Amino acid sequence: MATPHSNNTPSKAPKPIKVVAGNRRAYHEYFFIDRYKAGIVLSGTEVKSVRLGKVNMSDAYCVFKDDELWLRHMHIAEYPQGGLTNHIPKHDRKLLLQKRELRRLQAKIKERGLTIVPVELFINERDCIKIEIALAKGKKAYDKRDSIKERDIKRDMDRERGRG
């Protein structure tokens, strides 16, 4: 006997998260202290370009302007069929976070050597475009060399394991 609230249709599996763009340079240049997921304000043609994967985040960074967090220098290519309504590829974009998260980030930024960098842009399971940002501390040159050395050692160990 079926209950009135049961549904005999098969349940849809949730969509996987699709990473549109990553910021590999940020992994090389910074230690990540804390990560946040934020919404991003985009126009229609920007959304279409992002879904096509036409995004470059290598020079992007975040700044506070009037107690709001803004993303600067993220390049979203113009949409080919955009025509006259197309967007400007490199303009400031507002990030959407809860007020307490914004206050926490603003307090941390005042500490010496900390910054906010975008890590990756993704489309979540509800088809919303989100960005992962990180509170980060810049690496010194010797830290970068150590990171490269560790990565090379790990790669060599993986190769040896694959052969044996």
Which of 102, 98, 3, 93 shows the shortest CA–CA distance to 50? 93
User: What topology does CATH give the domain 18-147?
Assistant: Small Protein B; Chain: A; (2.40.280)
pTM: 0.75
The CA-based dihedral angle spanning residues 23, 27, 28, 31, taken in that order and rounded to the nearest 10 degrees:
140
pLDDT at 6: 52
pLDDT at 150: 85
Cβ partners under 8 Å of residue 18, min gap 6: 122, 123
CA gap 128, 123 in Å, rounded:
5
CA distances from 22 to 34, 56, 84, 151 (A): 17, 8, 29, 18
Sign of CA dihedral 138, 66, 73, 36: positive
Write phi, then psi, for 33 (nearest 5 degrees): -95, -45
Edge-to-edge strand list for the sheet holding 61-65? 18-22, 114-123, 129-138, 30-40, 93-96, 68-72, 61-65
pLDDT at 81: 83
pLDDT one digit per residue (tens) for the chain, 164 residues: 455 555 555 556 667 778 888 888 888 888 889 999 999 998 888 888 888 888 988 888 899 999 899 999 999 888 888 778 888 888 899 999 999 999 999 888 887 778 899 999 998 888 889 999 999 888 787 777 888 888 888 888 888 887 76
The residue ranges of every structural domain in the chain are 18-147
For 22, left (φ over 0), alpha (ψ -120 to 50), or beta? beta
pLDDT at 96: 93
